[in-house]
């Protein structure tokens, strides 16, 4: 399952950036995943949770944004959504000279973390009985 290696790579990159920035916790990560990237979002979410264990990302939310596949025909310049399974022949002229414009993405689009020292736990005083 290559989703685990993807999750570990994402966690490694974010953890490195968070530590360099002095972050105390990572709350969420936005990841763009192209529909042609060959990634199963549910598997990635499961692997991400495991990969975060024991890191500054533990408990972080993974937000995946699906990027639809798009192609452009070389001969007639028509653009279309390729879908799944991908339709790479031009729907207008039938040419098989398609250029993929989008859909193979797999990138970190954003990270939300907390900076500064770890807050000390607060204890509520229990009133004494009189």
What confidence category does residue 1 fall into, taking pLDDT thresholds of 50, 70 and 90?
low
Token output for 104: 């193979």
CA distance 118 to 6: 29
Lowest-confidence region among 12-16, 104-108, 126-130: 126-130
- The whole-model pTM stands at 0.77
Average pLDDT over residues 15-44: 93
Residue 120, pLDDT score:
47
Q: What does the domain layout of the chain look like in residue ranges?
A: 3-68+102-116
Q: d(Cα 5, Cα 13) in Å, to the nearest integer? A: 12
pLDDT of residue 32: 96
Task: Tell me the C-alpha distance between 105 and 120, whole Å.
Answer: 40
Cβ proximity of 111 and 30 under 8 Å: yes
What is the DSSP secondary-structure string of 71-113? EEETTT--EEE-TTTT--S-TTT----EEEEES--EEEEEEEE
pLDDT for residue 124: 58
Q: Could you tell me how far CA 78 lies from the centroid of its own chain? A: 30
Query: Tens digit of pLDDT for each residue in 72-123?
Result: 999 999 999 999 889 989 999 999 878 999 999 999 999 999 876 544 445 5
Q: Is 51 helix (H, G, I), strand (E, B) or coil?
A: helix
CATH of region 3-68+102-116, choose from 3.30.2320.50, 2.60.120.380, 1.10.12.10, 3.40.50.2000:
3.30.2320.50
Query: What number is the average pLDDT over the span 51-65?
Result: 95
């Amino acid at each position: 399952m290559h989703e685990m290696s993807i999750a570990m790579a994402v966690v490694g990159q974010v953890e490195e950036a968070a530590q360099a920035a002095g972050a105390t916790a990572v709350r969420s990560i936005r990841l763009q995943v192209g529909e042609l990237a060959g990634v199963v979002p549910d598997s990635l979410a499961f692997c991400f949770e495991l990969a975060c264990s024991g890191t500054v990302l533990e408990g972080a939310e993974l937000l995946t944004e699906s990027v639809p596949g798009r192609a452009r025909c070389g001969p007639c310049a028509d653009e279309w959504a390729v879908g799944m399974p991908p339709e790479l022949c031009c729907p207008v002229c039938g040419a098989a000279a398609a250029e993929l414009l989008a859909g193979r993405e797999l990138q970190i689009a954003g990270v939300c973390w907390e900076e500064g020292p770890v807050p000390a736990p607060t204890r509520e005083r229990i009133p004494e009985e009189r």
